[in-house]
Amino acid sequence: MASWSDLPKEIVEKISESLDSHIDITRFRAVCNSWRSAISPNFKISKSLFPIKLPLPKITMTEDFHKESEFYLIESTVYLLQLPHPPHTPWLVKVVKTVDGKLRILNLLTNTVFKGFPDKKLNSLDFRLSQVFKSYHVQWILKPYARECELQVLVSKILLIWNDQTNDFSLMAISIWDHLLCFKSGDEKWTALKDRSAKIVDIIVYKGDFYAVDTYGETIMYDPSSFNETNVSSNVKGLSSSIFNGWGSKKRLVESGGELFLVDMFLDTDVKAELHGSQPSWKSPKEIKIYQLDEEQHQWIAVHTLGDRIFFAGDDCCFSVSSSDFGDQCSGNCIYYVNGGIVVNILGNDLSEEVKLRYKGLHGQHTGIITLQDGKLGSLISFLEYADIFWPPSSWLYTGDRAALQTLFTNFTPQNLPFLSGI
């Protein structure tokens, strides 16, 4: 069998011309010595489209405040990291590049910056590195106060579709008030797509179009060039939203294997409070149902298994992966999700000091899991066997010196943000 190193130089150079990301360059140079020498480590790819400056959505603030603030679209990437030798323990990591060019490592679902990393670089050349998913965020810069706000402060989710032929882009976003907004390159302001009474709870890019779902399961497809709408599915009977006019429910759209799924969460709310008109207590989901879109019948069909797939249902990032990428770490047929009522409290539980130290970086993360085969449902702290893919294996970060390890974690500060070199 011919070796990759035997490829003619002109073919290798042709392949190198198609590289459009830093991770592609890293993986290209890792193939063999001849490929490594064919391209310089300082090879420059085309300048990134990001950050993109956008007008602020119309919100209640003074005109001067509006003019002095800046609103940017930035990009994040989910990577799968594995050691090239046994044990091939995997780790999923979300890396975002902010407006000022800093790289931050975030929780996949909550976007909180991971704390607990030692002051150490992880060189991507030391790992098998695969790009899993791209998502987008907005970063709001408050110039009068010379500081930046948290990601997604004015919109809860934002999506982008790029037209390679025209070099134009289209955006769809959900505002913090659950209003559906759109924007196209060249526009001067955002446009509302639905009546303000419509409660849009999630959006996704599926087969090149935007899809939006409301709290009752009604699903609409939007053409990215014209934003003309097509009804895909009407309301779904039995959804959590049928109780108390939509309160106490949460829905997420996930694409998997070329099919579109709806994850419907029944939140454990305070029913008495609901009857008196106040908001629910937003406790953890007490039940989760899954539906698959039947595009011919225009309806959501209940499903009870995901096979080997793993769903990640975040507030601004939903995707799926195959459990085969994780070896024995996860058997699939499960969903990781986020909810404000679920807090991973690693420090206050009856766990060994070794376990507490091992998973200290997950403390305070609002992350839960449901396994469809055996019905496990709750915080990651209750099912730590599913937590490893959210936190790097200990051998990646430190040696067996426990005292040194304790010092590394103790001295870590949020200002010393972790990052991966080589990305």
* Phi, psi of 263, rounded to the nearest 5 degrees: -100, 120
Contact 151, 96 (CB under 8 A): yes
What's the longest Cα–Cα distance across the chain?
74
Which pLDDT band holds residue 158 (cuts at 50, 70, 90)?
very high
pLDDT per position as a tens digit, 35-50:
777 776 555 545 567 8
pLDDT of the residue at 364: 62
d(CA 203, CA 158): 8
Please state whether beta strands 122-123 and 420-421 pair in parallel, antiparallel, or not at all (unpaired): parallel
pLDDT of 63 reads 47
Averaging pLDDT over each range in 214-218, 246-250, 257-261, 286-290, which range is the top one?
257-261
pTM: 0.79
pLDDT of residue 232: 93
Is pLDDT larger for residue 388 or for residue 63?
Answer: 388
pLDDT of 422: 37
DSSP 220-231: EEE-TTT--EEE
* Residue 236 scores a pLDDT above 60: yes
Closest CA to 198 of 183, 227, 218, 222: 218
Helix (H, G, I), strand (E, B) or coil at 9: helix
| Percentage of the chain exceeding pLDDT 70 | 64
Q: What is the mean pLDDT of the chain?
A: 75
* Strand bridging mode 334-338 / 309-313: parallel
Q: Is the pLDDT of residue 61 over 50?
A: no
pLDDT value of position 421: 38
Q: Is the pLDDT of residue 81 over 70?
A: yes
Token pair in block for residue 305: 């298994």
Q: Identify the top-confidence range among 24-28, 64-68, 419-423.
A: 24-28
The DSSP symbol for 41 reads T
Spatial neighbors of 223 by CB under 8 A, at least 6 apart, are 209, 230
So where are the chain's domains? Answer: 9-38
Overall residue count recorded for the chain in this entry: 423
Highest averaged pLDDT of the listed ranges 327-336, 342-351, 371-380, 398-407: 371-380
